[in-house]
Structure 1
Amino acid sequence: MMKTTAASMLMSGLPLTGQPVFAADPVTPASAQDTNLSPLSIAARNAWIYGLALIENAKSRADVLKRGKPNTVVHEGKLVDASWRDVTTPNNDTLYSRSWINLTEGPVEIQVPKGGDRYVSVALMDMYMNNFAILGTRTTGNDGGTYKLVGPKDPIEDAFTIRAPTPWVWSTLRVLVNGPQDLDTARSIQNKFKVTGPAADFPPEYAERSAPWQEFLTSVQKLVLENPPPVTDERYFETMSPLGLSMSGGFDPSRFDETQSAEIDAGFLAAKKWLRSAGRPGPVINNWSYPKATLGDFGDDFLYRAQVAIAGLGALPMVEAMYLRPVSDSGNPNFDSNKVWRLILPGSALPPVDAFWSLSMYEQTPEGQYFFVDNPLDRYVIGDRSPDLVRMDDGGIDIWMSRTPPPANIQTNWLPTPAERPFSVFFRGYLPKDEFMSWEYKMPKLTEVVG
């Protein structure tokens, strides 16, 4: 059922997207909406957009390392629920295990567990949010294996060595859970995931995205030095030169006077407005927002990377998972929880995937992030493995979304919406087939139930 490729595909250290990566428009030095900004404000705007991925990854790293050490694994032994607020848009389909790996002291060994006939993946992401390798079902198969991860300048020793682009790497294991009765078996697989390496230092504390510009940019500069960016980012760094922020260091907040400080603040404000007004990054088909081809391997698509840092940190590339999100006719991704909504998936047009699919219910926080919310059923997801789903005559699935239960005969198909805020749903399809990735397959439209 699952597609595999040879382990040797991993050895170049290049991203395993499995498809051509279309050229992305980089964030340019200026935009039409910022023609009144000073050069210093434009530099600050670009620096905020560029640095957001580093800042968000540093926060994720700090959160994980509160519970463990570098080069060790932190297991989440239960499915994520409404109490979990570590990373935005979590899934409720897989167990997670996370590790922040520090390669400055030498190579690290990664043991991938055998998955049997279930989906298992270990995503390796650099500090710039690029998935540079994914181990598991799609790429190396479900028999597990041991791999060596080395730093950017270390040699490739054999076919099981992977070179990381940055000294710090975020490793995330996902193990599919086929219902509550399967949780113990999934845990036994999860616990066989190991990361072994030399003792390594904890990173220093860094600012969060809400910090004043002095702290934010100081942290970005330090993170750039800690994790040197690819040389192809050099031209973009030229747009930040009025700040003195560079690939080799030099940022000094004390050299700016009050007038210049106000200009930098204006640049940060412009960046945040730009991010909010950027709209859907990928195509919208049948009122579903599809991902861009650069998801999870962003290149110089810095604006998209910033969007994903806020709304989907840790996202996989499209060949591993399709992330879709419905929008209204006006383009709004948030829907009124006072109303009743349906998603009808005909039996002849179920999502074409080689692993599994699910639809997850979230509320949006004021910061623009998405998390599960409490509901009477503790149900956050409906998918192809949900127990006791009522099927239509053609084998299709009719999913209801509302605050109150639907008719009694299909309550197992009910996905409760938030009690107070609007809702947003995200579709995930793991190991999508070609017709899904090429947008040939079109998800049916989310419809309002009237009357």
Structure 2
Amino acid sequence: MTLVTRRNLVTGAALAVPLIANSSLVSAQVSEALLGSASDAERIAMDAYIYGYSLITTEVTRVQMSNVPALSGLHGPMGQFINVKRYPPADYRGVSAPNADTLYSAAWLDLGAEPTVFSHPDMGDRYFLFPMYSLWMPVVECPGARTTGGRAASFLITGPGWSGQVPSGMREIKSPTRYLLILGRTYANGTDADFAAVNALQEQYKLVPLSSFGKPFTFHAPPVDPNPGFSMTDKPQSVILSMSAEDYFNRLARLMGTVAPPAPEDGPMLARMARIGIAPGQPFDAAKLNPAVREALRDLPQRALAVIGAGRSSLGNEVNGWTVTKGLGRYGADYMKRGVVAAFGWPANLEEDAVYPNTTVDSEGRVLSGANKYTLTFAAGQTPPVNGFWSITMYEVDQGWWFVPNRLNKFTVSLRDDLKRNTDGSITLHFQNESPGPERESNWLPAPKGDFIPMLRMYWPKAGNPSLLDGSSAPPWVQRVS
């Protein structure tokens, strides 16, 4: 497996950044923008906005989640796990497309002063994963059942430029940015007994500064910033949209200075951005640009988000009506893909860990609606090929994708439902608003009365034939039956 670790970040950035970080050189390049084509400068500004969108999105999310004095709901101080104890309820309207398969354990780390040791207990044969994201949003590494196995383990997570002795028995994970997000998921089958078992595991997920490892340690929350500079409650997309382009680019330049150094492959983009005065660690002054460019910056956020939104359709391929999105979690210099994911799927798993096909149409191309009845049939031996597990979640569409309230309190269907098989060994699932009858309810996924979207979650999809990853396997069409 090849992960985007940017392990050569410090060395590579040291070669690239000095080419543009010198203030006199930046001034000369801004002068070029003053005299040159306004349209060129506008294109650079647009590209720079998209380039930085994942970084600004992740930073806003970090502050909103962690700039608090104590654990509360989905918020918690830096360096402490936020453990979700149960699936979201039927009326949940927090983050779109919630899941009812795993329980989250999220934590933000500040690696500026020293590394952090992350430990988990023996997980047995339970599926789990702990993807770790840099501020730019790529997956740095992903300890879990697929990669490191279920035995108890400890990992030393280090920040940019750290050098030192890695304790015996630990594996070092190098973060390219000062701040890092752990977004862990642990499988739970939905019963009270299993929730309790997972909660017991969550209590053993530990984060300890390296200097305190192996010693008595009491967590103390970092000070709260009373003026973070933006709303702590508005959605990150709204917060970013409310920023002026000048504010946005100043935040981007400040973060690139020391907190989130650009990757070596970003050199060409950094050289372009320097032409309009955007450089790591340097203040951005729009007043130095020509009047036409300054005017274009006024509505740049709105135009850039429209461009990002238009790129959403290019993320996935359609197979049997299902949109299958792959290649996430590692982006290289594909800043548009990274920006689209930041806007619509933050922060996204590696395809080796999870793929989430979804569909909105039946086999005739008609929009799925609870006014009708549908089936989905997996031929014998052809359920989704995974090493972990699979499930299908039903969502109603209402300014987001949400669980469908129903008398069974059932939001997903999977093999844990003891699915009934047809005489030929195939499995037929039923997507409809009303029950298909008691004898078929194990295979029923309740739909709303209006439009709906089924999402197939495949954790640890198989890599060999048959595989969704190489196209040798695909979900079957949804068939309308009445």
With the shorter chain as reference, the TM-score category is 0.7 to 0.9
Distance 2:45 2:374 in 1: 42
Aligned to 1:380: 411
Further displaced range: 220-229 or 297-306: 220-229
Task: Give secondary structure in 2 for the equivalent of 1:77.
Answer: coil
Q: Quick one: which amino acid aligns to residue 118 of structure 2? A: I
Which of 177, 185, 189 is the aligned partner of 2:197?
185
Contact 2:241/2:302 (<8 A) preserved: no
Alignment of 1:350-365 (within 5 A): 350-364=383-397
The residue type equivalent to 1:71 in the other structure is G
Pick the structure with more helix per residue: 2
Q: 1:394 to 1:195 in 2, by over 3 A?
A: farther
- Indicate the residue corresponding to 1:285 in structure 2: 319
* Residue deviations 1:228-250 (CA, integer Å, cap 9, x gap): 22121121234434542223333
- Counterpart CA distance in 2 for 1:257 and 1:340 is 60
Within 5 Å, give how 1:160-175 maps onto structure 2.
160-175=171-186
- Residue among 413, 421, 438 paired with 1:391: 421
Q: Matches of 1:443 and 1:221 in 2, distance apart?
A: 44
Partner of 1:211: 242
Can you list the C-alpha shifts for 1:286-332, whole angstroms capped at 9, x where unaligned? 22222232x11111121111222223213210111122122548999
Partner of 1:64: 65
- The 1:255–1:94 alpha-carbon spacing in structure 2 relative to 1, beyond 3 Å, is same
1:46 is matched with: 47
How far apart, CA to CA, are the structure 2 residues paired with 1:77 and 1:241? 47
Matches within 5 A, 1:78-89: 78-89=86-97
Matching residue's letter, 1:91: N
Deviation at 1:131, TM superposition (A): 1.0
**Structure 1 residues 378 and 55, CA gap change in structure 2 (3 angstroms):** farther
Give the corresponding residue for 1:247.
Answer: 280
SS in 1 for 2:314: coil
Cα deviations across residues 113-163 of structure 1 (Å, max 9, x unaligned)? 221111021111111111111112111110121111111111263452211
Tell me how far 1:432 sits from its aligned partner.
1.1
Greater alpha carbon shift after TM alignment, 232-241 vs 127-136:
232-241
Q: 1:113 and 1:224, CA in 2 relative to 1: closer, same or farther beyond 3 A?
A: same
| Deviation by residue 1:16-65 (Cα, 9 ceiling, x = unmatched) | xxxxxxxxxxxxxxxxxxxx993343233223322221232223323431
Matching residue's letter, 1:154 = W
- What is the CA distance between 1:404 and its match in structure 2? 3.0
- Secondary structure of the structure 2 residue equivalent to 1:412: helix
Match of 2:159 in 1: 151
Residue 68 of structure 1 and its aligned partner are, at CA, apart by: 2.0
**Contact 1:62–1:205 at 8 Å: present in 2 too?**
no
Q: Which is further off, 423-432 or 387-396?
A: 387-396
8 Å contact kept, 1:64–1:74:
no
Secondary structure (helix, strand or coil) at the match of 2:381 reads helix
Give the AA of the match of 1:137. Answer: A
Residue deviations 1:376-395 (CA, integer Å, cap 9, x gap): 4332221222x343332344
1:347 aligned counterpart, secondary structure: coil
In the alignment, is the contact (CA less than 8 A) between 1:343 and 1:399 conserved in 2? Answer: yes
Residues 1:114 and 2:145 are matched in the alignment:
no
Matching of residue 321 in structure 1 with residue 350 in structure 2: no
Kept in 1: contact 2:316–2:323 (CA 8 A): yes
Q: Deviations along 1:180-228, whole A, 9 cap, x unmatched?
A: 1411111111221111228656674457232143443343333333312
| 1:318 alignment partner AA | E
Q: What's the offset of the Cα at 1:70?
A: 0.9
Counterpart code for 1:378: N
Q: Structure 1 regions of 5+ residues with no counterpart?
A: 16-35
> Percent identical across equivalent pairs?
26
Deviation for aligned residue 1:101: 0.3
Contact 2:352/2:460, CA 8 A, preserved across alignment:
yes
Amino acid across the alignment from 2:480: E
Name the counterpart of 1:414.
444
Matches of 2:301 and 2:109, distance apart in 1? 31
Displacement of 1:440? 0.8
The one-letter code matched in structure 2 to 1:340 is K
Q: Secondary structure at the match of 1:349?
A: coil
> Contact 2:362 / 2:368 at 8 angstroms: preserved in 1?
no
Q: Whole-Å Cα distance in 1 between the matches of residues 38 and 448 of structure 2? A: 40
Between the aligned partners of 1:76 and 1:335, the Cα distance in structure 2 is: 32
How far apart are 1:109 and its partner, in Å?
0.8
Deviation at 1:403, TM superposition (A): 3.0
Residues 305 and 11 of structure 1, relative CA distance in 2, 3 Å threshold:
closer
Aligned pair count reads: 418
Match in the other structure for 2:452: 423
Q: What is the identity, as a one-letter code, of the residue corresponding to 1:53? A: S
- TM-score, with structure 1 as normaliser: 0.82
The whole-number CA distance in structure 2 between the counterparts of 1:332 and 1:229 is 44
Alignment partner of 1:209: what SS?
Answer: helix
